[in-house]
């Protein structure tokens, strides 16, 4: 059992709560319910856009950094999707426990950051879809015991018309993380998760479409937003419908559909569980839309006969009140720590894989890139040529920042041996979890240990063995020639690596290419390692360069996140043992199959 989370009430007093974000969800769902709930005391609200010292009689702050940990038990985060992880991470690091509404994060690397912040700050992360707290879902969970061994689950939430915030952040992928799949799909995945148990999702296949998302007539009307006038501020670049098919490692299949809009007359949510001894089906309507089916209907079918199962009929939104009823106990439970982020990591992992499958399917439908308007990054995998978005050529480049492992050097086998030796010395017998370690490459070694919950003492033998076997680390074929050609073309080069600076410079010196780089920066030489932008920003400072003149080449999602955070062009390298699906899902500005492919994007630097 872990220690009690910090900031938890021990005297029976209400939970001192802060609401972060005064958008529709914050002011319509969370704030009014928290104010009237006897288990909570709203002590402050936070919103950078709000004005005045108070909001509805409650002290108002513009930034979570203004919150004092000893005055807050729980922060309810209800901000745009792309800010969920950043704000939750800041709060957790301060020792303030957090409840994050869905989606908890919009990328797997964000889940890793939240896990580390939760452990290090001593607070607890709480999350979960309110749909689990619906009376009809509770009845479904109870009755599923009668279906025998679960074989298949249908889960769908289809709106007639309900695209949220058309032209705003909800329909911009960079801000929302996705469309109906991230929004409605997260609720569906969270709802079926207890039915699947701990079984891993082994296979994911999916497709997405956007037939309605840019239509004003498909917009949600119940959120109190103004009717659209003319063209939206920005055309939507997310899907309005996602369809997927999942198979778990123990053979259970799941059919998933999430639609913001359709040709249906009413909004319908359907959960059907087929088992060896019968089928249980729930028909209802999740959410707040008034265009809903009347009530909830739960039926059980066996041997050709269907019987109706009595189920309580909830008023709209009652599930959120029940969720608030449950949070104080979760907050006080030491076993809550790590639970929410583990579920979030599983959910976002499925979503990322479904999007990757959908992109790959689109690639196979089209023969060429630009002629058919397809995402060009996919075809580069089969055409053998560098592919890029228009952002790559918006400004001439003169700076290239490289990651080291997996981009310049092929260090996988040496890392595997060093990691196994360190694990055996510090942890003991048993197989070293190198494959999990390898998924976090690009980060600083101590950060990976924290994410994996392994002893930090492993760093000393890992570094020792890495130095001892450094002579076994080769450069990738074509990299020396690439570096020299870039220098001849007038490029300035830097390395930004998860390794320590001394170890990186020692390795490059041994390989005879250290003099080709203007600077080599390790994660021990900046405040925040990748995926934070600090290491790339430091390279730009040392080079006296502007972000638009630089690109970063990396083989991990953390590299791309660091590059984007620094404002430089993010380029994915696929010639090492990289996770191509994860890299493509991160939507890099360019994708390279071979080192020499980079030269097509790096013409000689103009001299004046």
The tens digit of pLDDT for each residue in 185-206 reads 999 999 999 999 989 899 999 9
Helix axes 445-452, 459-468, angle to 10 degrees: 130
Residue 230 has pLDDT above 90, yes or no: no
Nearest by Cα to 425 from 468, 459, 452, 469: 459
* HEC per residue, 311-372: CCCCCCCHHHHHHHHHHHHHHHCHHHCCHHHHHHHHHHHHHHHHHHHHHHHHHHHCCCCCCC
What pLDDT shows up at residue 228?
41
Q: What is the mean pLDDT of residues 155-180?
A: 88
Quote the tokens at residue 251: 């053979």
* HEC per residue, 31-94: HHHHHHCCCEEEEEEECCCCCCCEECCEEEECCHHHCCHHHCCEEEECCCHHHHHHHHHHHHHC
Q: What is the mean pLDDT of residues 338-357?
A: 91
Residue, of 8 and 255, whose pLDDT is higher: 255
**Residue 528's pLDDT band (cuts 50, 70, 90):** confident
**Residue 114's pLDDT band (cuts 50, 70, 90):** very high
Report d(CA 192, CA 173) in Å as an integer: 25
Q: What is the mean pLDDT of residues 94-114?
A: 92
Domain boundary among 248, 279, 313: 313
Do both 205 and 268 map to the same domain? Answer: yes
Report d(CA 34, CA 522) in Å as an integer: 46
What are phi and psi for residue 454, nearest 5 degrees? -110, 160
What pLDDT shows up at residue 360?
59
Q: What is the mean pLDDT of residues 268-279?
A: 98
Q: Any alpha helices (H) in 127-167, and if so which ranges?
A: 135-143
**Cis, bond preceding 247 (omega within 30 deg of 0):** no
Residue, of 32 and 215, whose pLDDT is higher: 32
Residue 5 lies in a domain: no
Residue 29, domain CATH = 3.40.50.720
Report d(CA 125, CA 89) in Å as an integer: 9
Bridge partners (DSSP) of residue 208 are 242
Residue 65 lies in a domain: yes
Do both 584 and 516 map to the same domain? Answer: yes
Residue 359 lies in a domain: no
* HEC per residue, 461-506: HHHHHHHHCHHHCCECCCHHHHHHHHHHCCCEEEEEECCCHHHHHH
Q: Is residue 488 within 8 Å of residue 603, measured between CB atoms? A: no
What mean pLDDT is reported for the chain?
A: 87
Question: Tens of pLDDT along 453-471?
Answer: 999 999 999 988 888 888 8
Report d(CA 293, CA 300) in Å as an integer: 19
Instruction: Find the helix or strand (DSSP H, E) in which 550 lies.
Output: strand 550-554
Do both 384 and 235 map to the same domain? Answer: no
Q: Is 127 helix (H, G, I), strand (E, B) or coil?
A: strand
Residue 268 lies in a domain: yes
Residue 490 has pLDDT above 70, yes or no: yes
Residue 383 has pLDDT above 70, yes or no: no
Residue 367 has pLDDT above 80, yes or no: no
Residue 228, domain CATH = 3.30.360.10
Bridge partners (DSSP) of residue 401 are 494, 552
What range defines the domain where residue 429 resides? 413-472
Report d(CA 525, CA 574) in Å as an integer: 27
Q: What is the mean pLDDT of residues 427-451?
A: 84
Q: Is 302 helix (H, G, I), strand (E, B) or coil?
A: strand
Residue 562, domain CATH = 3.40.50.1000
What pLDDT shows up at residue 239?
94
Do both 186 and 120 map to the same domain? Answer: no
Length of the chain: 608
Q: How many domains does the chain have?
A: 4
What pLDDT shows up at residue 463?
87
Residue 381 has pLDDT above 80, yes or no: no
Q: What is the mean pLDDT of residues 25-52?
A: 94
Do both 279 and 295 map to the same domain? Answer: yes
Residue, of 256 and 23, whose pLDDT is higher: 256
Nearest by Cα to 514 from 487, 534, 538, 550: 487
**Residue 395's pLDDT band (cuts 50, 70, 90):** low
Residue 97 lies in a domain: yes
Report d(CA 520, CA 514) in Å as an integer: 8
Domain boundary among 472, 489, 511: 472
Quote the tokens at residue 155: 């889960």
Q: Is residue 167 within 8 Å of residue 215, measured between CB atoms? A: no
Residue 272 has pLDDT above 50, yes or no: yes
- Rg value, the chain, Cα: 26
Instruction: Provide the phi-psi class of 390: left if phi over 0, else alpha when psi is between -120 and 50, else beta.
Output: alpha
Q: Is 239 helix (H, G, I), strand (E, B) or coil?
A: coil
Half-sphere exposure of 502 (CA within 13 A, CB side): 5
Nearest by Cα to 574 from 584, 566, 564: 584
What pLDDT shows up at residue 8?
57
Tell the residue number behind the tokens 């619906």, with chain if given: 134
What are phi and psi for residue 86, nearest 5 degrees? -60, -45
Q: What is the mean pLDDT of residues 270-279?
A: 98
Residue 360 lies in a domain: no
Share of the chain above pLDDT 70, in %: 89
Do both 196 and 171 map to the same domain? Answer: yes
Highest mean pLDDT among 31-35, 446-450, 556-560: 31-35
Share of the chain above pLDDT 90, in %: 66
Neighbour-count burial of 117, counting CB atoms closer than 10 A to its CB (0-12 exposed, 13-18 middle, 19+ buried):
buried
- Nearest 10 degrees: Cα torsion 592, 594, 599, 601: -10
Do both 112 and 158 map to the same domain? Answer: no
**Residue 412's pLDDT band (cuts 50, 70, 90):** confident
Quote the tokens at residue 351: 């979503």
Highest mean pLDDT among 57-61, 132-136, 503-507: 132-136
Nearest by Cα to 8 from 82, 95, 109: 95
Residue 378 has pLDDT above 50, yes or no: no
Domain boundary among 313, 343, 377: 313
Q: What is the number of other CB atoms lying within 10 angstroms of the CB of residue 238?
A: 24
Q: Is 19 helix (H, G, I), strand (E, B) or coil?
A: strand
Residue 362 lies in a domain: no
Do both 478 and 385 map to the same domain? Answer: yes
Do both 499 and 378 map to the same domain? Answer: yes
Do both 150 and 262 map to the same domain? Answer: yes
In angstroms, the Cα distances linking 307 to 237, 301, 302, 317 are: 44, 6, 9, 28
Residue 282 lies in a domain: yes
Do both 379 and 506 map to the same domain? Answer: yes
Do both 497 and 386 map to the same domain? Answer: yes
Question: Tens of pLDDT along 119-167?
Answer: 999 999 999 899 999 999 999 999 999 999 999 999 999 999 999 975 5
What pLDDT shows up at residue 387?
53
């Amino acid at each position: 059992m872990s220690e009690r989370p910090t900031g938890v009430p021990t005297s029976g007093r209400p939970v001192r709560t802060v609401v972060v974000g005064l958008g529709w969800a914050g002011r319509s769902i969370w704030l009014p319910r928290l104010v009237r709930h006897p288990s909570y005391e709203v002590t402050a609200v936070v919103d950078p856009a709000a004005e005045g010292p108070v909001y509805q009689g409650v002290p108002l702050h513009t930034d979570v950094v203004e919150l004092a940990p000893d005055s807050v038990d729980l922060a309810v985060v209800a901000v745009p999707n792309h800010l969920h992880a950043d704000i939750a991470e800041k709060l957790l690091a301060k020792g303030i426990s957090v409840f994050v509404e869905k989606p908890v994060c919009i990328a797997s690397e964000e889940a890793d950051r939240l896990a580390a912040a939760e452990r290090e700050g001593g607070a607890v992360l709480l999350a979960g879809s309110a749909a689990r707290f619906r009376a009809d879902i509770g009845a479904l969970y109870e009755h599923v015991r009668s279906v025998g061994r679960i074989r298949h689950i249908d889960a769908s939430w289809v709106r007639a018309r309900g695209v949220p915030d058309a032209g705003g952040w909800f329909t911009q992928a960079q801000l929302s993380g996705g469309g109906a799949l991230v929004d409605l799909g997260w609720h569906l995945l969270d709802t079926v998760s207890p039915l699947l148990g701990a079984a891993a999702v082994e296979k994911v296949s999916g497709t997405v479409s956007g037939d309605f998302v840019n239509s004003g007539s498909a917009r949600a009307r119940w959120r109190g937003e103004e009717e659209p006038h003319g063209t939206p501020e920005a055309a939507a670049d997310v899907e309005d419908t996602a369809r997927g098919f999942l198979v778990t490692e123990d053979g259970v299949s799941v059919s998933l559909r999430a639609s913001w809009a359709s040709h249906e007359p009413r909004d319908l949510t359907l959960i059907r569980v087929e088992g060896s001894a019968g089928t249980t089906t729930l028909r209802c309507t999740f959410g707040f839309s008034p265009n809903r089916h009347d009530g909830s209907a739960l039926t059980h079918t066996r041997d050709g006969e269907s019987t109706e199962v009595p189920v309580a009929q909830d008023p709209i939104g009652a599930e959120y009140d029940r969720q608030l009823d449950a949070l104080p106990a979760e907050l006080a439970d030491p076993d809550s720590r790590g639970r929410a982020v583990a579920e979030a990591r599983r959910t976002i992992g499925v979503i990322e894989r479904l999007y990757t499958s959908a992109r790959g399917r689109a690639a196979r439908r089209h023969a060429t890139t630009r002629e058919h308007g397809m995402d060009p990054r996919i075809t580069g995998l089969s055409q053998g040529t560098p592919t890029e978005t228009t952002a790559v050529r918006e400004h001439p480049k003169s700076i290239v920042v490289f990651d080291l492992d997996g981009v310049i050097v092929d260090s996988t086998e040496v890392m595997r041996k060093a990691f196994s030796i360190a694990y055996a010395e510090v942890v003991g017998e048993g197989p070293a979890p190198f494959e999990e370690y390898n998924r976090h490459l690009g980060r600083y070694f101590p950060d990976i240990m924290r994410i994996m919950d392994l002893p930090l003492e492993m760093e000393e033998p890992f570094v020792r063995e890495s130095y001892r076997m450094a002579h076994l680390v080769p450069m990738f074929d074509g990299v020396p020639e690439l570096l020299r050609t870039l220098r001849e073309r007038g490029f300035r080069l830097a390395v930004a690596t998860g390794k320590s600076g001394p170890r990186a410079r020692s390795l490059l010196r041994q390989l005879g290419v250290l003099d080709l780089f203007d600077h080599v920066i390790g994660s021990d030489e900046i405040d925040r390692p990748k995926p934070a932008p600090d290491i790339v920003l430091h390279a730009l400072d040392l080079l006296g360069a502007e972000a638009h003149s630089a690109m970063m080449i990396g083989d991990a999602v953390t590299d791309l996140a660091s590059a984007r955070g620094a404002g430089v062009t993010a380029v994915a390298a696929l010639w090492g043992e990289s996770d191509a699906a994860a890299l493509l899902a991160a939507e890099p500005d360019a994708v390279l199959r071979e080192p020499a492919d980079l030269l097509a994007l790096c013409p000689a630097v103009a001299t004046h």
